[in-house]
Structure 1
């Protein structure tokens, strides 16, 4: 339903999006995650017909975004990370205004407004002025606005940004409900665990290029396949880190201190026991050795720390296979 082919966007010599290939299946929620400045907003802006790519193609359904922008705009609901509101309108008037702008039949606007306010839990604020709403309420109103013309595709740029924990949970539940309505959702964030709870697939982007793309199950399995271990020693932590970095089952060293080293370990219990034995035989004074508890955030940091810009997508597809 959403597809890009070798998509690139350059600003002079700077390449914001590099050879990006995405394929989001109909009826799925796709999480697009990356650090600030990784190219998420640029990609979403191209898909929303707000920006032209330097090269490559992008499609919403069968419509190509640069040659058929009017068709694409009818197919999508786009919510930027920061959007304006009309302070002197009530919530009901705000949705009615956008319903008219989207070309929704006048006899459907009232009905659709009522349904959407119920969906985003703003029924009791229908007659409140938009400027009086909290940040979380405004975000939910923005999502309702995107749905006024009932588009099959939603493109959401960091919809939970700046929200308190309760508002984030509410937003997450609304987005999960959209999957049940058959919507295709592309949602960006810089917080991987937040996306993992509501997405079918996840793509990780760094410096404009995809470094990993797979189902949530595969990504989760990849994360749980490594253990984050903490080694506490009496001294020589820096030397221990150098020693550990050359071990076949140590995939990364995360923390280096004089009396503590944290690392990612790819082996099981038996390999872990052998690792400790080798460490002691090497003469290091080990005080404790325990698992910190790896997470999807650890995986995100590991994948994005030292990836080379060239050939990232090929390497990522092999890594996640």
Structure 2
């Protein structure tokens, strides 16, 4: 059984339906990217999952407990980090985290141990005596994440945690989140930076106008949406003295291969589009790539580099949403 199960979630604000029949699951040790344009219903859904809002319909179960019927039982299992989380200006990092540790009911040596452990994990120990108001945006996000981890929750709900961070801070945040998942925590994270999510998420859920359009791995979402699995190969050539004749011969040969639907030249390489009817199951990509490479080498085409390009989260998002409006 999944740690988190969401079934038929609905939230209305008067005539506006912000969340419309949303259902998905999240297992322990997994990072799920929650993706959608502004106003899609991401933050509303996350607030409901954090017990800060009540749905009009649907059920949410966390570790076997109903979030709707028994919110007090599930709150200790949840760590929620909103998109705009402030820190108090007149306190140090240590004082800030210690205050929230007390609020979570931690006492004595256990409280001190837990605060120290969180500061070490988030890299805040050298800054423990520094005022939170003097911290950079990235360090403030670390403090906010540390507060979220103090009570050792099973589920982390992070709403746009990378917003406004510099490249180094984003990389460090990704490493922290991956480490948390490796510890067995389930992580639900939203972001507008799709390349960020693609690098850390195991699965994704795409929402638009309050409706969940697709869930799963990127390749599976694309295959479900089109009924056709798609992959791309990049083939670099060394034309030598033959020049353009090599490019023309290679392109002609590639288009003769099964599952090759398109060949386009990009600089010193050819981008080869492969398609396979019936979804993404099986090792068809490796099989097709091996056949293509063998054909090129067998025909004497001078291949100097050959690689497989995974279709990414941006491809899936643009294909599934298509700018739908209510």
Sort the TM-score into its range (normalised by shorter chain): 0.7 to 0.9
Partner of 2:207: 205
Please state how far the C-alpha of 1:52 moved relative to its aligned partner: 0.7
Q: Distance in 1 between matches of 2:147 and 2:229?
A: 39
Please state how far the C-alpha of 1:175 moved relative to its aligned partner: 0.2
Q: Distance in 2 between matches of 1:36 and 1:136?
A: 23
Partner of 2:149: 147
1:88 pairs with 2:105: no
Q: Distance in 1 between matches of 2:218 and 2:74?
A: 28
Q: Distance in 1 between matches of 2:44 and 2:204?
A: 18
Structure 1 stretches lacking a partner, 5+ long:
228-248, 251-264, 270-291, 310-321
Please state how far the C-alpha of 1:217 moved relative to its aligned partner: 5.7
Query: Is the Cα contact below 8 Å between 2:218 and 2:311 reproduced in 1?
Result: no
Partner of 2:321: 304
Regions of 4+ moved over 4 Å: 219-224, 265-269, 306-309
SS in 2 for 1:89: coil
Structure 2 stretches lacking a partner, 5+ long:
233-259, 262-272, 277-287, 289-308
- Label 1:60 to 1:170 Cα distance change in 2 as closer, same or farther (>3 A): same
Query: Is the Cα contact below 8 Å between 1:156 and 1:186 reproduced in 2?
Result: yes
Query: Greater CA deviation, 104-113 or 122-131?
Result: 104-113
SS in 2 for 1:117: helix
Please state how far the C-alpha of 1:106 moved relative to its aligned partner: 2.1
1:266-303 Cα offsets, whole Å, 9 max, x none, are 7499xxxxxxxxxxxxxxxxxxxxxx996421321121
Q: Distance in 2 between matches of 1:160 and 1:221?
A: 29
Number of residue pairs the alignment of both structures matches: 258
Partner of 2:230: 225
Query: Is the Cα contact below 8 Å between 1:33 and 1:191 reproduced in 2?
Result: no
Partner of 1:118: 120
Q: Distance in 2 between matches of 1:220 and 1:194?
A: 19
Partner of 2:240: none
Q: Distance in 1 between matches of 2:31 and 2:51?
A: 20
Q: TM-score, normalised by structure 1?
A: 0.73
Partner of 2:187: 185
1:59-85 Cα offsets, whole Å, 9 max, x none, are 221222222111111111110011121
Q: Distance in 1 between matches of 2:121 and 2:70?
A: 31
- Label 1:216 to 1:47 Cα distance change in 2 as closer, same or farther (>3 A): same
Please state how far the C-alpha of 1:194 moved relative to its aligned partner: 1.3
Please state how far the C-alpha of 1:89 moved relative to its aligned partner: 0.9
Query: Is the Cα contact below 8 Å between 1:29 and 1:201 reproduced in 2?
Result: yes
Q: Distance in 2 between matches of 1:217 and 1:149?
A: 36
